[in-house]
Structure 1
Amino acid sequence: MKRKKVETDVLNLSGQNLNRIQLPLNLDPTTIILDKNNISKIENLQKCLNLKQLSVAGNRLVRMNGVSNLTNLTVLNLPNNSIVSIEGLKDLTSLAWLNLSGNSIKAIENLSGSINLRHLDLSDNSVSTLTDISNLQNLRTFLLHGNIITSLRTIPPCLPHSLCIFSLAENEILDMNEVAYLSCLPNLEQLSLMNNPCVLMTASTPYPF
C-alpha cells in the first residue's frame, strides 16, 4: 500500500548533528529548517513540492546548486556557511528573500532570474565590485556590509531604482564624495556607510576654529 504524503507547515531539524539531508518519506512541509548541523550538500528535497521556505544556516555548505529544483521557494536562508558562488537560482522566479551572509562569495552573479527578489543579504562576504542587477525591479533591501568594496562609481547602471534600504557599512570606501553616485536611487530611504575609511577619516579630522 502506497503511503500517503502528510502536509505539514514546519519541519525543524536544527542542531541535530546531521551530516546529510534525509527527510521522512511521508512528509511534505512548506518550511524546512536545518540550521546548526554539519550538512555539506543540499539534496533529497526535490519531492517536497510544497516547500516555500528553506533554512540551512550555520552548516558546511560550499555549493548551493542543490536548490535548483526547488522552484516554489520564496525564502532561502543560507548564512554562515562556506559558499563560494551564487548558483542554482535560474528557475526560482518566486524567490523573494535571499540571505547568503557570512559566506565566501566574491561576485554578485546569477541573479537575473530572481525577478521577484525583495530582500538580498550578501553581507560579510568578499565582494569587491558591484555588477548589474538592475533587472531586479522589486528589490527593496540590499545588504552589503562587511565586504571589500572600494568605490561607488559603478552603482548608477547596476542597481534598480526600487531600492529603499542599502547597507555599505564596513567596506573600504575612501572618498565620501562618492555618495553622489547614489543620487540615481530615487526611492532610497536608508543608507549606511558606517566604519568605512571615508567616515572614519571625516570623524577624526579636527574642525578649524
Structure 2
Amino acid sequence: MKSLSVEQVLKEKKTNDPDSIKELNLGHKALTDVSCLSKFKNLEKLDLRFNNLTDLQGLKSCVNLKWLSVVENKLQSLNGIEALTNLTVLNAGKNKLKSMNEIASLTNLGALILNDNEISSICNLDLLKDLNSLVLSRNPISEIGDSLSKLKNIKKISLSNCRIKAIGSSLKSCSNLKELRLAHNEIKALPTELAVNKRLLTLDVGNNMITKLSGLEVLSTLSCLRNLNIRGNPISDNDKSAKKVRKLLLPSVNVFNAQSLEKSSRNEKHSRFDTDDETFDTHHNKTTEEEQSKEGRKSKKSSKRNKSEEEEEVKNEDQKSKKKKKSKSNPNVYQVETEHKEEDKQKKTTSNNNDDAAEKKQKKTPKEELDAIDDAETSFADIFSRDNVSKVSGDGIEKRKNSKQETGLVRVIDNQDNKKRQKKKTEKNQSKSVVIDLPMELEIGLGGESKWE
C-alpha cells in the first residue's frame, strides 16, 4: 500500500501553499490512496493514470476539478465522484467498473470516456445536456435503448466491440451527431431512422452482420457523410454488392472502407492518361514515319534539282569555253585544249581496261569523287574504300571551287558521257569489289542503301 502525502506534493511543486497548485500529474506512481488531495481545494486538472486506486473517495473535496483521468487503475466503482460537479472531462477507461450510475450528477460533463470496462447498460445520462462525446467501446452492452434520447448536443458516440444487435430509434434525438462508431457488433441492418442524423460525417459499421443491400439504403440520405467503413460484413465480401454500395454513396464520401476514393479516382485518371499517352505515341510514331518518307521524297527531288542545276552549270561552262577558244586574247586557251586531250586519253584507257588492279591504281579526280558522293546508288563501302577518304567530306564542293580559283583553269566535261562511264565503273566495282573492313567510325549506314543528299 502506497499513499501520497501533502509534503511530497508540495516538495515536487516547490511551494508551501497548497492553494496555489491547480494542476498535478501523479501518473505511474503505484498509488493506492490519494486522500491527501483534499487539501488542494483549487486543483483543476488531475492525472492519476496507471496507479492502483480502487475508489475515488479521496477526491470528494476537490470540487473545483474540471479534468480528471484515472485510466488503468483498479476501480470497481466511481464512488466519491458525485461531488465533482464542475468536471467537464472524465476518463476512467481500462478499469473494472460494473456500472455508470455515479455520473448522474455531473451535469457539466462534456466528455465521458469509459471504454474497456465491464458496464452492461447505458444509463443516467438524461441530465448531461452538455455531453458531446461518449466512448463506451469494449463493454458488454447489448442495447442502446432510450438512454441517448436527451443528448441533443452529442457529436461523437463510440460503441465498438460491444454486443449491440440493433440501433433502432435510439439516435433519433441526436441531430448534431457527427461521428458514430459501431464496429465489431451484431448489427444486421442500419435503421431508416438514421436519416435524421443529417450531419453525420463518419460512420463505422465494419465487422457486423449486414448481408443485404436494403440494410444500407439509408446511406443515400446522409448528404454530409465523408467516411464510411463496412468492411468485415458479408455484403462487403461480394464484389458486386460492394460496387452497388458505392453507387448508393453520395459524391461527398471521400473515404470508403479505409481507402481514399479521391486516390482511386486519381489512379483511374492516371491509367486513362497512360492509355492516351500510348495512343499518342503510336500516332506520333506514324506521323514521324510519314514525315521521314516525305523528307526522303523531298531529298530525291532536291537531288534531281541539284543534277539539273549542275547540267546548267556545265552548259554555261561549255559556252564560256567556246567563247574563250574564239577569243585570241585569252592566254590559257591552249592549256585548256591540251588538258582536254589528255583527259580524253585517260578516260579511254580506263574504259577499255577491265582489270581491277589497274582501276585501283588509277587516281580519281576530285570531280569524280564528288560525283560518286552525290550519286544515290553508290554505297558507303565504295565511297570510304577510296584512296582519298580524308578528302571526301561535306565541304568537298567548296574545295573544288577553291581549286578552280587557284589554277584559274576552266575544265569542260561532257556531263552525259561522264554519267555513262561512271555507271559502267560502279557496275564493275559492285560485281568484283570486296567489302573493306571499315573503322568503327565509318560503320554507320552499312545496314542498307544510303541516300546522300
Q: TM-score, normalised by structure 2?
A: 0.43
Equivalences, count: 203
Distance in 2 (CA, whole Å) between partners of 1:65 and 1:163 is 30
Paired residue secondary structure (1:40): coil
| 1:149 equivalent in alignment to 2:156 | no
Residue of structure 2 equivalent to 1:56:
70
Matched, 1:169 2:183: yes
Hey, what's the Cα distance between the residues in 2 that align with 1:105 and 1:164? 24
Aligned equivalents of 2:81 and 2:103: distance in 1? 7
Unaligned runs of 5+ in 2: 1-15, 211-229, 242-453
- The equivalent residue for 2:151 is 136
Q: Which amino acid aligns with 2:130?
A: N
Greater RCO structure (CA 8 Å; 6+ sep): 1
- Sequence identity of aligned pairs in percent? 31
| 1:24 CA displacement | 4.5
Instruction: Find the counterpart in structure 1 of residue 110 from structure 2.
Output: 96
SS of the aligned residue for 2:193 comes to helix
Cα distance, 1:46 vs. partner? 2.0
Distance 1:129 1:24, change over 3 A: closer
* CA drift at 1:5: 3.9
Contact 2:77/2:99, CA 8 A, preserved across alignment:
yes
Q: Does 1:180 align with 2:213?
A: no
| Higher deviation after alignment, 113-122 or 21-30 | 21-30
Deviations 1:6-44 (A, max 9, x none): 232321111111112233554332111111111110112
The corresponding residue for 2:31 is 18
Q: CA deviation at 1:189?
A: 1.7
Q: Following TM superposition, by how much is the alpha carbon of 1:203 offset from its aligned partner in structure 2, in angstroms?
A: 2.2
- Alpha carbons of 1:51 and 1:168: their partners in 2 closer, same or farther (altered >3 Å)? same
Residue in structure 1 matched with residue 240 of structure 2 by the alignment: 207
Gaps (5+ residues) in structure 1?
A: none
Question: What corresponds to 2:83 in structure 1?
Answer: 69
Q: What residue is the counterpart of 1:43 in the other structure? A: 57
User: Deviations for 1:157-202, whole angstroms, at most 9, x for unmatched residues?
Assistant: 5x42121111101111123xx2533112222221111122324211
Give 3-state SS (helix, strand or coil) of 2:90's partner. Answer: strand
The structure whose residues are more often strand, as a share, is 1
Judging changes above 3 Å, is the alpha-carbon distance between structure 1 residues 26 and 19 closer, same or farther for their aligned structure 2 residues?
A: closer
- Structure 2 equivalent of residue 122 of structure 1: 136
Shift of 1:48: 1.6
SS at match of 2:46: strand
Contact 1:81-1:103 within 8 A present in 2 as well: yes
Distance 2:93 2:24 in 1: 19
Q: Distance in 2 between matches of 1:59 and 1:67?
A: 15
Q: What one-letter code is carried by the residue in structure 1 that aligns with 2:133?
A: H
Question: Residue type of the partner of 1:141?
Answer: K
Residues 25, 168 of structure 1: alpha-carbon distance in 2 compared, 3 angstrom cutoff: closer
Question: Contact 1:155–1:182 (CA<8 Å) still a contact in 2?
Answer: no
Change in Cα spacing, 1:30 to 1:146, as seen in structure 2 (3 Å) is same
| Contact 2:38–2:61 under 8 Å retained in 1 | no
Q: CA deviation at 1:62?
A: 1.0
Is the 8 Å Cα contact of residues 129 and 153 (structure 2) preserved in structure 1? yes
Contact conserved, 1:65 with 1:87, CA < 8 A, in 2? Answer: no
Q: Could you tell me the TM-score, scaled by structure 1's length? A: 0.89
In structure 2, C-alpha distance between the alignment counterparts of 1:65 and 1:121, rounded to whole Å: 20
Q: Is contact 2:169-2:191 (8 Å) kept?
A: no
In structure 2, what is the Cα distance between the partners aligned to 1:88 and 1:201? Answer: 40
- Cα RMSD (Å) of the superposition? 2.0
Partner deviation per Cα, 1:44-80 (whole Å, 9 max, x = no partner): 2122232111110001111113210101111101000
CA distance 1:7–1:91, shift in 2 (3 Å): farther
